[in-house]
Structures are given as C-alpha cells and as structure tokens.
Structure 1
C-alpha cells in the first residue's frame, strides 16, 4: 500500500514520528511518537491546510510516497464506532492514539479523517517492531495551487 505525506523539505526524509512527538496532534499527545500519513494525495493536502500554517509561500514542501507492506498488521477505526463529537474531543482521540502506540502490537491504525470522514489517514507506530519495514519510495517537490490558501 502506498500512502502520502507532505512536509517541509528539510524533514522529508524523516518518518520517525518525531514531529508529532514534539508537537502532539489529533491522535497523540506531546511526547508520543506517531507517523501521520493519508490515503490520498488530495487528503494529505487538505490535512496540511487545516492543521498547519503553510500560507508562507517561501516554505519548501515535499510530497512523500510511503510504502507500507500489505501483510503488516493494522487496525481500523470506523467513524461510526466513534462517539458523535469525536472530531472536537482531542482528549478522546489522543487517548485512542496513545494507547495504540503504547500497546505496540499493531503497526498501523487506520482512522477516519476529521476533514473528510469518508477518507482515511494511516497512523504508523514507530515503537512497533516492524516499523522499519515502512519506506519512503519517492519524494518530490510539491506545492499545491495557491488558490487553496484563499479558502
């Protein structure tokens, strides 16, 4: 399976989950490493737009194509199994993500996107023994149409 990630060029070779560990995000608290990837390039763009401040056109971005071997273990959380206001309850989603990382028994957690609930993000656990099997297979310079930043 190929998943996608957009990051500053200076960090485009880093899939260790360090950025999420330093900052915390929807599915992890600060101090817990987690690699965030998206099902589609377009979803990766939307996630970038709503979760960061990339309106500075001088920032160089890269699009990473990341391979996750299909036979590696994953768990899926469907939006219907989450509580009604899960998108607004970061304590709730962070608890789920932190538990996923601490248990170390599953490599990938497939979660609904809060931006488009019918699409998914794939969260990879850097503490899982098979994490080293996740590889960047392509990286290229990336910048979406600037009209997106005016929305």
Structure 2
C-alpha cells in the first residue's frame, strides 16, 4: 500500500512520530508516538491547510511530499458511521480511540476518517508495532503549495 505525507521539509526524513509524541494529534494524546498519513495527495494538502498555524509562521514553510510504502498487513478501521455526532469537535473522544490502538500494539495501521472530509481516510501508523521497521519512504520531493491556499 502507498500512503502520503506532506511535511515541513525540515522533517522530510523523519518517520519517527516524534512530533505527535510532543504535541499529540486528533487521534493520539501527547506522549504517544504516532505517524499520520493520508490515502490521497489532495487530502494531505488539505490537512496541512486546515492545521496551518498562521501566527507561528511569518513565512510559509517549504514542504516535501512523501510517498510511503506500507507492507500488506491487517489493519483496523474506524468507520465514520459508528462515531458520535460532531466527533470532529471532540479531540478527547478520538484520542481515546487512537490511544487504545497505539497502546495495544496489535496492528500497524488504523484507518481513520478525515475530520475535514469524513468520506476520505487518513492512517494512524503505530511506530511501536514490530512491522513499523518495514515502512519505507518510496519517494520524496519538494512540493510547492499554491499561495492562494494561505
């Protein structure tokens, strides 16, 4: 399987999940390593745009698009139909599910709905799973974002 990550160029070689460890994310609490990826390049761009912190950057950072190879392994999926109404507004709700997945270490991948486009999916990848070492960056390239997005 191929998944995509759009990252600040400074972190183009980093698949550690350290950023999620430091800051947490929609599907993981601070203190848990996790790597996020998307099923489509366009969703990766959209996730950057909605999470862009305009006050933190005086200049828009440069980005790299990573195409990541994930071995064929069983995955878990959270279907949007089972989630409560307005789940996108409740980080604790989604973090509890993601934290449980990460702590159990039974699966490498959790397929999760995007909070931006719930009909499309992101992937929560568990760096503490034994198959994590099989994940490889297939390609990586500088990726300019249209300035109208910001």
> Take 1:56 and 1:108, find their aligned partners in 2: how far apart are those partners?
35
Q: How do residues 95-110 of structure 1 correspond to structure 2 at under 5 angstroms?
A: 95-110=96-111
CA deviations 1:58-94 (Å, max 9, x no partner) are: 5221110001112x12101110011112111111100
Q: Which moved more, 1:136-145 or 1:53-62?
A: 53-62
2:65 aligned with 1:63: yes
> Take 1:139 and 1:20, find their aligned partners in 2: how far apart are those partners?
21
> Take 1:93 and 1:7, find their aligned partners in 2: how far apart are those partners?
22
Could you state the TM-score of these two structures normalised by the residue count of structure 1?
0.93
1:120 maps to what in 2? 121
- What is the aligned length? 148
2:4 maps to what in 1? 4
> Take 1:135 and 1:14, find their aligned partners in 2: how far apart are those partners?
11
The structural deviation recorded for 1:57 is 4.2
Give the superposed CA RMSD. Answer: 1.2
2:147 maps to what in 1? 146
Could you state the TM-score of these two structures normalised by the residue count of structure 2?
0.94
